[in-house]
Structure 1
Amino acid sequence: AHVNDEGIEFITPHKITETHVIINITELSGFGNVKDKDSPPDPVRALVLLFYRPPTDADPESVLSVLLLPKNIVMPDVLRMRKEYTGDERYIDKSPHCKLIPKQEYTLSTSPEDDSVLVQPKEAEFDEQSYDNYFPSFQVNLETTMRNIKLFLRDTNSSDSVWERQVCLLSTAVRKPKRQSSRSLSSIARLRTGFIDGISGPVLQSLLDKLFEKKVITEPERESAEELRNKRDKARIVIDTVRKKGKAASSEMIKCLCKIDPFLCKHLGLI
């Protein structure tokens, strides 16, 4: 609801996406937070995300990419885009939360800190508007194999760390891609319950559209699923319909689902 001069106005959504609700508001109150335009910006909630490209037999050098991003980014989009950019790195699951000052310069240091560790660049600015730019703010090049490394993110105006983590690198070796056969019919059958319980309504609808687009299901099959109001019933008929079509259809469904909702697929053990 929105309070204006004439009373209370109930706001209807202008547009609804899988992650946001967009509304139109007019006649905002003249009262609110007043701040001097010359005053320094306040810290905002942010994320420090880590992606690691481990060494190979042919190349002993490894690279740790450090991304400084606003908190309200869409994590599946970050994972998908990073995979498209590089393909051979792994996301390191470390607590990413911190507070950063917009337009402020930050430095990244490491422990150990020697000639085998190179951090580039020396300073990086935090851009709080960077919602779709998933390039690293820093990259740590490691010439030798390391088990652990400690990272310190500091404001250039202070010696105190705004974010500090001990990171284990050896456990993040790149996994070999699973063979297609292991991700097809048997995977679908084994993960049926997890799929039905875990998939959300918007993701399920996107999956239906993608399966129809890929000609995995027919138009009558899609319409039959869309007629069901209960999300679990709809998920059940989708997965059972695809299972009956065999290995190729099951593999295509898993491929589509991994693109739409990588978090769910990771939870189900598909990636």
Structure 2
Amino acid sequence: VHMTSTEVLVQNSLLNTQKYFIFASSLPFQVAHVNDEGIEFITPHKITETHVIINITELSAFGNVKDKDSPPDPVRALVLLFYRPPTDPDPESVLNVLLLPETVVLRDVLRTRKERDRDERFIEISPHCKLIPKQEYTLSISPEDDSVLVQPPEAEFDEESYNNYLSSFQVNLEKIMKSIKLFLRETNSSHSVWERRVCLPSTAVRKPRRQSSRISSIARLRTCFIDGISGPVLQSLLDKLFEKNVITEPERESAEELRNNRDKARFVIDTVRKKGEAASSEMIEFLYEGDPFLCKHLGLI
């Protein structure tokens, strides 16, 4: 009987690397297992059009064996920094430190943090390190200063529950500092698993200036406001004014009926201006949030 053979090399974490020969003929398939002791013929467990499946029960002494009580292995992780700069004239700022597994999508982290705090800035610095799951870590600062507070004193690295992208540590800086040095260590250890010098942005967040009369401000800038505000910013402003009860639902509906952007802007500014100082202040605050560049152009900041 004419027979052909195909050599197959089998290797994985639980099996020795060994050779198997598959013999094909008009008779049923036979698998010959070649080892140091000779040849062993194995009856296939299952035969398909593309595969011959055999049962192998012997295990390698070099397999991956791990005691269930042994400590977890370190995993690749990221230390991400988000800085909320001081707001004039208050010098206090906040540095948020996130401990995350390396598998996170940075784009998702940035988007989520931005939605939570639009003034927060991502500090791009080498984030890579190795952390042990369920291990407690501490964050230290240099230079040590009474004006710097790190909280909490220690935090656990959780490689599974991180979807909210919350801060593991928060560093409160009561005075303006150009740079600091961060040390991440295992609790009760002097060895740093991550150590970086961090330059802090010096530009403070600027808020709209409090003027003596917001009514006179928006009245004076009425034409520039009508000509300068974009459609999306105007729509956002209209929505916020309604949400905060600055304008009523009928007033919002009247504005929505106006298709021309300049007519809608004219209606909004005139309606708010007639409601007094508080309404005018709210409008300027909302406008700053939606378009700080327009506020600067109008001289409101």
Q: Which runs of 5+ in 2 are unaligned?
A: 1-11, 13-44, 51-56, 208-227, 231-301
How many residues are paired up? 161
* CA apart distance, 1:123: 0.3
CA-to-partner distance for each residue in 1:58-98, whole Å, 9 max, x for gaps?
32110000000000001111001101111210000000000
- AA aligned to 1:56 is T
Aligned equivalents of 1:130, 1:158: Cα separation in 2: 25
What CA distance in whole angstroms lies between the structure 1 residues aligned with 2:138 and 2:48? 48
Q: Distance in 2 between matches of 1:33 and 1:157?
A: 31
Q: 1:82 and 1:35, CA in 2 relative to 1: closer, same or farther beyond 3 A?
A: same
Q: Which has the higher contact order (CA 8 A, sep 6+)?
A: 1
1:71-82 pair list within 5 angstroms: 71-82=102-113
The amino acid that maps onto 1:38 is: D
Aligned to 1:128, the other structure's residue is in SS state coil
Letter in 1 for 2:86: P
Structure 1 residues 80, 174: closer, same or farther in 2, change over 3 A? farther
> Is the contact made by 1:92 and 1:172 (CA closer than 8 Å) also made in structure 2?
no
SS at match of 1:170: coil
Match of 1:94 among 119, 125, 128: 125
State how 1:1-271 maps to structure 2 within 5 Å.
33-170=64-201
Whether the 8 Å contact between 1:90 and 1:172 is mirrored in structure 2 is: no
CA contact (8 A) 1:146 1:170 kept: no
- Secondary structure at the counterpart of residue 80 of structure 1: helix
Q: Distance in 2 between matches of 1:69 and 1:30?
A: 40
The structure carrying a bigger helix percent of its residues is 1
Contact 2:88 2:204 in 1 (8 A): no
TM-score by length of 2: 0.48
Measured at CA, do residues 58 and 172 of structure 1 come closer, stay the same or move farther in structure 2, by a change above 3 Å? closer
Amino acid at match of 2:175: T
If you compute each CA radius of gyration, which structure gives the higher value, 1 or 2? 2
- Distance in 2 (CA, whole Å) between partners of 1:109 and 1:102 is 20
- How far the C-alpha of 1:174 sits from its partner, in A, is 5.5
* Bigger mean CA offset, 113-122 vs 54-63: 54-63
What SS is found at the alignment partner of 2:184?
Answer: strand
**C-alpha distance in 2, partners of 1:119/1:8?**
63
- Structure 1's consecutive aligned runs of 4 or more residues displaced over 4 angstroms after TM superposition are 5-10, 29-32, 171-176
Q: CA deviation at 1:144?
A: 0.2
TM-score, structure 1 normalization: 0.53
Q: Distance in 1 between matches of 2:49 and 2:111?
A: 39
- Point out where structure 1 has 5 or more consecutive residues left out of the alignment: 11-28, 182-271
**Map of 2:15 onto structure 1:** none
Instruction: List per-residue Cα deviations over 1:123-143 (Å, max 9, x = no partner).
Output: 000001134130000000000
Query: 1:98-131 CA deviation, whole Å, 9 max, x = no partner?
Result: 0000000000000111110000000000001134
Please say if residues 63 and 139 of structure 1, whose CA atoms lie closer than 8 Å, have aligned partners that are also in contact.
yes
- Aligned-residue CA RMSD in angstroms? 3.3
Secondary structure of the corresponding residue to residue 77 of structure 2: strand
Residues of 2 paired with 1:116 and 1:6: CA distance? 72
Deviation at 1:34, TM superposition (A): 2.5
CA distance in 1, matches of 2:139, 2:79: 11
Instruction: Provide the identity percentage.
Output: 75
- Decide whether aligned partners of structure 1 residues 79 and 8 sit closer, same or farther in structure 2, where only a CA change above 3 A counts: farther
Q: Give the conservation status (yes or no) of the 8 Å contact 1:107–1:156.
A: yes
Give the SS at the match of 2:109.
Answer: helix
Residue identity in the other structure for 2:150: V
Name the CA distance, whole Å, in 2 between partners of 1:90 and 1:108.
20
Distance 1:34 1:172 in 2: 54
Equivalent residues of 1:69, 1:130 under 8 A apart: no
